[in-house]
Amino acid sequence: MFSSSGYGSPTFAQAEREQNSRTSAKALYEQRKNYARDSASSISETSQYHVEHLTTFVLDRKEAMITVDDGIRKLKLLDAKGKVWTQDMILQVDDKAVSLVDLESKNELENFPLSTIQHCQAVMNACNYNSILALVCKEPTQNKPDLHLFQCDEIKASFIHEDIESAISDSKSGKQKKRLETLR
C-alpha cells in the first residue's frame, strides 16, 4: 500500500474510501428513484380509515327494513334506548375489496369484495351519529343483503364513500384512474 508522500496528498486507502462512498451514494440514489417510480405506478393503493361499527341489519321487507333510511330510523331507536354497542376498527379500501380490520390485533374481521357491494352511501347529520357510512353488501351465498353502518369521525363518511365508489367504478371499468383522482 501507498503511504502519505508528503503534505496534503491522500493515501491510496483514503482515495478508495472516497470512491466507494460516491458509488454507494449513487447506487442508493438509483434505488430510491426506482422505488419512487415503482410505488407511484403501483395502483393497488390501500386507504385506511378509523371507524366505529355501529350495527348491522339484514335488509328484509318483512322487518320493514328495505332502505338505508330504514336502517338510520332503527339506529335512532336503538340509540335512544342505549342499545348501540360500537366497535372501533379500521376500514380498508383497495382495488379489490373493502375490509374491516381489528384495531389491536390487526386481524381481518370481514372482507367485502367490491362486486358484493350493492350500495354505498354517506348519511350526514341524521342523528347523534353525524357522519355515517352505510354499506349494503350481499355475498353470493346470502339470501338477503346486510346493511352495515359506521360512524366516521376522523375522516368524514362523504370522503370514504367517494373512495369506495371510485374503487367500484374502476373495478367495473377495468381501468385504474377514477380512484387515484379521488384519493388526490
36 with 62, same domain: the answer is no
Q: Structural domain tally of the chain? A: 2
Residues 110, 37: Cα–Cα separation, whole Å? 32
35 with 102, same domain: the answer is no
Residue with cell 380490520: 101
Which pLDDT score is estimated for 135? 98
Which pLDDT score is estimated for 173? 81
Rounded to two decimals, the pTM is 0.73
Residues 55, 77: Cα–Cα separation, whole Å? 12
Whether pLDDT at 39 is above 50: no
**Per-residue pLDDT reduced to its tens digit, 131-144:** 999 999 999 999 99
CA distance to 39, 64, 86, 126, 149, per residue, from 59 (Å): 40, 8, 20, 20, 12
Please tell me which residue, 67 or 40, carries the higher pLDDT value: 67
38 with 51, same domain: the answer is no
Which pLDDT score is estimated for 178? 65
Which pLDDT score is estimated for 45? 83
Residues 133, 156: Cα–Cα separation, whole Å? 9
Whether pLDDT at 64 is above 60: yes
Which pLDDT score is estimated for 13? 60
Q: What's 154's domain CATH number?
A: 2.30.29.30
Contact 120, 91 (CB under 8 A): no
Which pLDDT score is estimated for 3? 47
**Per-residue pLDDT reduced to its tens digit, 78-106:** 999 999 999 999 999 999 999 999 999 99
Structural domain harbouring 32: 7-42
Residues 150, 181: Cα–Cα separation, whole Å? 24
Residues 54, 38: Cα–Cα separation, whole Å? 38
Which pLDDT score is estimated for 171? 87
